């Protein structure tokens, strides 16, 4: 892949994060439809029974319901070949049920790292590591 293609892939991820940070479910769904392959391979915790781009949409529905002001800050982006790696800091206020924890009103901050693989200009595969334990501890679900 050319350097321009690699740069374009990183720009695609940043466009997706802009949609996510809008908090607009419809805009996020449109971004998924535009930027993600329908048969996306998604290697991260996802709702059971869903796959592909629909699973990614569902993840954001769940997150926005629990953290309506969720914000993803991209700390680092690394592009090489057909892959883009991002290290993010996520913040939000717990206003809806999450993982069985009722709303607490607490503000949370957690880290995540995702590797996006591109094919034909769209995200074809995602591998993610999300610090869910830290998030759940901040919500009081686990002792610190």
Mean pLDDT (the chain, rounded) = 91
**Neighbour count for residue 108 (Cβ, 10 Å):** 20
| Structural domains in the chain (count) | 1
Q: Is residue 143 part of a domain?
A: no
Residue 4 has pLDDT above 70, yes or no: no
Task: Tell me the pLDDT tens digit for each residue of 31-90.
Answer: 999 999 999 998 876 666 677 899 899 999 999 999 999 999 999 999 999 999 999 999
36-43, strands of its sheet edge to edge:
36-43, 122-130, 107-119, 83-93, 71-80
Q: Is residue 144 part of a domain?
A: no
Q: Is residue 127 part of a domain?
A: yes
Tell me the average pLDDT across 4-10.
72
Check which CATH number belongs to the domain holding 58 and give it.
3.10.450.50
Which percentage of the chain shows pLDDT scores above 70?
Answer: 92
Q: Sort 74 into a burial class: Cβ within 10 Å, 0-12 / 13-18 / 19+.
A: middle
Which domain range does residue 68 map to? 3-138
Q: Is residue 54 part of a domain?
A: yes
More confident: 4 or 102: 102
- What is the model's pTM? 0.89
Residue 97 has pLDDT above 80, yes or no: yes
Q: Is residue 9 part of a domain?
A: yes
């Amino acid at each position: 892949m050319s350097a321009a293609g690699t740069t374009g892939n990183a720009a695609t991820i940043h466009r997706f994060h802009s949609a996510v940070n809008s908090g607009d479910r419809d805009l996020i769904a449109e971004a998924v439809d535009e930027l993600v392959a329908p048969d996306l391979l998604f290697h991260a915790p996802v709702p059971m029974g869903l796959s592909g781009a629909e699973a990614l949409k569902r993840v954001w529905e769940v997150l926005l319901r629990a953290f309506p002001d969720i914000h993803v800050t991209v700390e680092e982006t690394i592009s090489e070949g057909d892959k883009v790696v991002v290290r993010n800091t996520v913040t939000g206020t717990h206003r809806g049920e999450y993982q069985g924890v009722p709303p607490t009103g607490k503000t949370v901050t957690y880290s995540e790292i995702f590797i996006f693989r591109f094919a034909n200009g769209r995200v074809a595969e995602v591998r993610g590591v999300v610090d869910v334990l830290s998030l759940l501890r901040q919500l009081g679900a686990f002792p610190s």
